[in-house]
């Protein structure tokens, strides 16, 4: 749950970067405009969630899925987002699949190169999703015996 | 480590390119909606991506239709105008109200009172 109202804001630095990327070079965006866009984005998330949730409830499901979000975009008349969203989802799913394979490869390689340097790997992965943490935890037990072999 | 094994960083940096807003924060906002019980990974990803598209679309629409185009600026008034005039952005009118001067507001109130008095 959100404990403070600020928790419902999106990070300003990221919002500012997205705005800059969308506009032609050299456009000056006022502070007030940036704040307003950021608030608008939070409201958009709530509106989209509520629409998507209606679709899930209609189908008697408790978990929001990709189809609900896409249907919500249509209902909100943001059809223009549908194509880019579908494409992004493809890439995302692709990466998820690849990551699982490459993660294992990566670990094998790392052990050959440098067995003791576990900390740096954790730092680099710190930003990733919980899902990855889960994967890591599942893989950890296999990893440890291997490492002992190398050290001995 | 990244020098010794360059290809190991590529999946993570590619993932960063698809979305830049933090999904954890977006999830928090989604969960603040009272009826929502759970959200799957794909739905969270799509909502995050959609929010980025929305930010771009709102900024570009407001700039293109706004008054600061010549001066290369985007200001609050351009956003308020977009919320009012563009159908798909109507849901923003509550949080992007048009600003008017207190003097103008008082004048319009007076006018209303005059009209009421006439009736």
Q: Which residue has the higher pLDDT, B13 or B54?
A: B54
Average pLDDT of chain A, as a whole number = 79
Q: What is the pLDDT of residues B36-91, one digit of tens each?
A: 999 999 999 999 999 999 999 999 999 999 988 889 999 999 999 999 999 999 99
How far the first Cα of chain B sits from its last, in Å, is 82
Q: Looking at residue A57, what is its pLDDT?
A: 94
Give A19-36 pLDDT, tens digit per residue.
999 999 999 999 999 999
B20 or A134, which is more confident?
Answer: B20
Nearest to B29 among A46, A106, A113 (CB): A46
- Contact (Cβ atoms closer than 8 angstroms) between residue B22 and residue A11: yes
Angle at B62 between CA B61 and CA B64, to 5 degrees: 65
Quote the pLDDT of residue A100. Answer: 78
3 state SS of B74:
strand
Q: Which pLDDT tens digit goes with each residue over A93-132?
A: 988 888 778 777 777 777 666 555 555 444 444 444 444 4
B46 at A interface, C-beta within 8 A: yes
CA-based nearest residue in chain B for residue A21: B56
pLDDT at A126: 43
Average pLDDT value for chain B:
85
Interface contact flag, A53 B33, Cβ < 8 Å: yes
Query: pLDDT confidence of B9, banded at 50, 70, 90?
Result: very low
Does B78 lie at the interface with A, CB-CB under 8 angstroms?
A: yes
Least Cα separation, residue A124 to chain B (angstroms): 9
Which pLDDT score, from 0 to 100, does residue A12 have? 94
| Per-residue pLDDT at A65 exceeds 90 | yes
pLDDT tens, residue by residue, A80-90: 999 999 999 99
Alpha carbon of A81: minimum distance to chain B alpha carbons (Å): 7
**Residue B50 and residue A50: Cβ atoms within 8 Å?**
no
Mutate to test the interface with A, among B30, B47, B61, B94 (most CBs of A within 10 A): B47
Which DSSP string corresponds to A72-88?
Answer: HHHHTT-GGGHHHHHHH
Dihedral over Cα of A60, A64, A66, A68: its sign:
positive
> Which chain A residues are Cβ-neighbours of B2 within 8 angstroms?
124
Distance of alpha carbon A143 from alpha carbon B61, whole angstroms? 52
Q: How far is B90 from chain A (nearest CA, A)?
A: 10
What is the set of domains in chain B, with CATH numbers? 12-31+39-118 (1.10.20.10)
Answer whether A47's CB lies under 8 Å from B54's CB.
no
Whether residues B88 and A78 touch (CB distance < 8 A) is answered with yes
Q: Which of A40-49, A141-150, B5-14 has the highest mean pLDDT?
A: A40-49
Tell me if ipTM is over 0.85: no
CB-CB under 8 Å, A70 with B46? yes
Residue A144's pLDDT is 42
Residue A1 has a pLDDT of: 54
């Amino acid at each position: 749950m959100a404990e403070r109202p600020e928790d419902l804001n999106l990070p300003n630095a990221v919002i500012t970067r997205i705005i800059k990327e969308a506009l032609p070079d050299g456009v000056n965006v006022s502070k007030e405009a940036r704040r307003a866009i950021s608030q608008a984005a939070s409201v958009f998330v709530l509106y989209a969630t509520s629409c998507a949730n209606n679709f899930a409830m209609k189908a008697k499901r408790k978990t929001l899925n990709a189809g609900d979000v896409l249907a919500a975009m249509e209902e909100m008349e943001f059809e223009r987002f549908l194509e880019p969203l579908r494409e992004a989802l493809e890439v995302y799913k692709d990466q998820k699949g690849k990551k699982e394979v490459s993660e294992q490869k990566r670990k094998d390689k790392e052990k050959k190169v440098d067995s003791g340097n576990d900390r740096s790997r954790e730092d680099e992965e710190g930003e990733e999703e919980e899902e990855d943490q889960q994967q890591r935890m599942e893989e950890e037990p296999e990893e440890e015996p291997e490492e002992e072999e190398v050290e001995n | 480590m990244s020098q010794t094994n360059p290809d190991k960083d590529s999946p993570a940096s590619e993932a960063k390119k698809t979305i830049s807003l933090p999904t954890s924060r977006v999830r928090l906002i989604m969960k603040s909606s009272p009826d929502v019980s759970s959200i799957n990974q794909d739905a969270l990803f799509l909502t995050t991506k959609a929010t980025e598209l929305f930010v771009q679309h709102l900024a570009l629409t407001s700039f293109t239709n706004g008054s600061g185009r010549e001066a290369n600026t985007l200001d609050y008034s351009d956003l308020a105008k977009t919320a009012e005039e563009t159908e798909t952005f109507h849901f923003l009118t509550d949080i992007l109200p048009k600003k008017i001067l207190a003097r103008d507001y008082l004048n319009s109130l007076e006018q209303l009172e005059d009209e009421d008095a006439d009736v």
